[in-house]
Chains A and B, each alone.
Chain A
Amino acid sequence: MIQEQVSVFVENKPGALSEITTSLAEAGIDLKAFTVADKSEFGVLRFLSDNPAKALALLKSNGWVASITPVVAVKMTDKPGSLAKVLKLFADNGKQVEYLYAFVAHEEGRAYVILRVDDPESAEKLLAASGIL
């Protein structure tokens, strides 16, 4: 399924991440999955939440630079090779994965992989056609 991921520019300095997560918590936004890409001087926090539009508006109004990107969330079967299968499918079809990260949904106890690709809709069609979704 396609999810709206919020990305935020974070400087590498103490308290920056804490400040962002605290303001999201205070607004009652539930983080479902997140990852931080870190370079030596800055990082990019990317997360899925229950209300991406509200999260984006909140961050922007607090002066953070943030954006929304559609990403593909794929439910994984708990078997060896299930991630490899998805990645091979994309590779065979010339779809480049910019980055990916995983999370476990509590209620279901299932693992998800979030994939950032160029055209998430066509990626999703590909997944559906191959029977993975």
Chain B
Amino acid sequence: MAYYQEEIERMPREKMAALQSERLIKQVRHAYENAAPYRRKMQEKGVEPGDIKGIEDIHKLPFTTKEDLRDEYPYGYLAVPLSNAVRIQSTSGTTGRRVVAFYTQHDIELWDDGCARAIVAAGGSKEDVVHVSYGYGLFTGGPGLNGGSHKVGSLTLPMSSGNTERQIQFMIDLESTILCCTPSYAAFLAETINDAGLIDKIKLKAGIFGAEAWSEEMRRDIEKNLRIKAYDIYGLTEITGPGVSFECSEQTGLHVNEDHFYPEIISPDTGEVLPEGGKGELVFTALTKEAFPLLRYRTRDVCVLTRKACSCGRTLIKMAKLMGRTDDMLIIRGVNVFPSQIETVLLSQGYTANYVIILDRVHHTDSFEVQVEMTSETFSDEVKFIEKKERELLSALRAMLGISPKVTLVAPRTIARSEGKAVRIIDKRKI
């Protein structure tokens, strides 16, 4: 069994707790002294850095939410002089809802380490060719796995997303052995490769797939069709990016890099910390990041944590595959979509806030349809006027969401109403 940082990954529980305590004490003081919003929120709650004497005191700290980060866009939560920051990444680009995260060189290193642990856990070494088909740019997927692969010493193919034909050509010609992308893109690649009769030319042995929720059934399909082992990876830009947690050979959950990212499960209603095994909202504290030190960030992801011994030998705490969300956020083709964004666009374009979102997975890709009510403002006896309004709506939705839905115009009476307003989400994807 190989590890990237064995001492950390197999650290005895007590030693890990001591490390976390030491780091938390330091991090809370850093956040309090250098990021005004943390200081203000701690003062409001009546907590001082001195009250945090160890990891067991973490529950005394206030939570941080996505709204908090957005409200302070862009520099509010930055805790180092801008000249010390070397990188910016951003959440999946949705106008008005953007969060930018800053990194010092030290922060990049620890992020890359997290991804390197994931690659080694998936069987990667310096002998491998790591094929990164996550998007590069503001999205953290590409840069994260790219950095991890460099740390491991693998040959890194920075493919980025799209151009499937070229992806497959490189995969064959350069003998890629580890594929990193979203699970839906992996499934699509598998199908395309098999349809073209090229599977025997593919040398892949493993895949590291994240940025969207996927089922065990999908894992089995991908593993069978690409003849690989498929591993899950988790992370959020706010925390750092991919590599916050990763799967090992046991494939029964994701080991959290808890030396850097301390996880808690809370009741989303009361904010109370739940005992081990309790199902609730996942909360993360970044213990070591300098530029963007995150304290008790509410991910809105629903999950369970366990310290049961793992056959891979790692002692890092494990989180289950994600079990849902506490808010109405949808993840469509890897992009975060809030129904409220769709509502904003519809109202600005003369439609009503009555609409239905229909999601399905067709050929391993999310299909995304929005049924929109026709209104007197958007109606005309002339079809070309209706179509012009429809095109304007489509481009406004694309600008807001970053992805294009299929828009279907329906008569007002067809969307069921409850108390005058009907927002329905029909998710037929089997996740």
The reply to whether the CB of A124 lies closer than 8 angstroms to some CB of chain B is no
- Chain B's interface: helix, strand, loop or mixed, by majority? mixed
Report whether B408 and A9 are in contact in the complex, using a CB–CB cutoff of 8 Å: no
- 6 smallest beta-carbon distances between A and B, as pairs: A7-B381, A63-B413, A9-B374, A65-B374, A65-B379, A69-B381
User: Which residues of the other chain, B, contact A67 by a CB distance below 8 angstroms?
Assistant: 376, 379-381
11 residue pairs of the A-B complex, CB under 8 angstroms, read A7-B381, A9-B386, A11-B409, A11-B411, A41-B408, A64-B411, A65-B411, A66-B376, A66-B379, A67-B380, A98-B384
Report whether B411 and A44 are in contact in the complex, using a CB–CB cutoff of 8 Å: no
- Our count of residue pairs bridging A and B at CB distance below 8 angstroms stands at 54
Q: Mark B364-381, 1 if CB is under 8 A from A, else 0.
A: 000000000011100111
User: Which residues of the other chain, A, contact B379 by a CB distance below 8 angstroms?
Assistant: 7, 9, 65-67
A5 to B381, CA, bound (A): 9
The reply to whether the CB of A37 lies closer than 8 angstroms to some CB of chain B is yes
The reply to whether the CB of B410 lies closer than 8 angstroms to some CB of chain A is yes
The reply to whether the CB of B46 lies closer than 8 angstroms to some CB of chain A is no
A46 to B409, CA, bound (A): 18
Within 8 A of A (CB), among B361-415: 374-376, 379-384, 386-387, 408-414
Q: Which residue of A lies closest to B407 (CB)?
A: A41
The number of chain A residues with a CB under 8 A from chain B is 22
Residues on A lying within 8 angstroms of B by beta carbon are 5, 7, 9-11, 16, 37, 39, 41-42, 44, 46, 62-67, 69, 98-99, 116
Report whether B408 and A44 are in contact in the complex, using a CB–CB cutoff of 8 Å: no
Report whether A44 and B383 are in contact in the complex, using a CB–CB cutoff of 8 Å: yes
Report whether A39 and B383 are in contact in the complex, using a CB–CB cutoff of 8 Å: yes
CB distance from B117 to the nearest CB of A (A): 49
Within 8 A of A (CB), among B320-367: none
Report whether B409 and A42 are in contact in the complex, using a CB–CB cutoff of 8 Å: yes
User: Which residues of the other chain, A, contact B409 by a CB distance below 8 angstroms?
Assistant: 9, 11, 41-42
Report whether A98 and B411 are in contact in the complex, using a CB–CB cutoff of 8 Å: no
User: Which residues of the other chain, B, contact A46 by a CB distance below 8 angstroms?
Assistant: 381
CB distance from B35 to the nearest CB of A (A): 51
A62 to B413, CA, bound (A): 8
A42 to B389, CA, bound (A): 14
A116 to B383, CA, bound (A): 12
Knowing A9-B374, A65-B376 are in contact, say whether A116-B413 is a contact too (CB < 8 A): no
Report whether A39 and B387 are in contact in the complex, using a CB–CB cutoff of 8 Å: yes
Report whether B408 and A63 are in contact in the complex, using a CB–CB cutoff of 8 Å: no
Q: Which residue of B lies closest to A5 (CB)?
A: B381
A37 to B386, CA, bound (A): 12
Q: Which residue of B lies closest to A42 (CB)?
A: B409
User: Which residues of the other chain, A, contact B384 by a CB distance below 8 angstroms?
Assistant: 98
Knowing A9-B374, A44-B386, A62-B413 are in contact, say whether A116-B408 is a contact too (CB < 8 A): no
User: Which residues of the other chain, B, contact A5 by a CB distance below 8 angstroms?
Assistant: 381
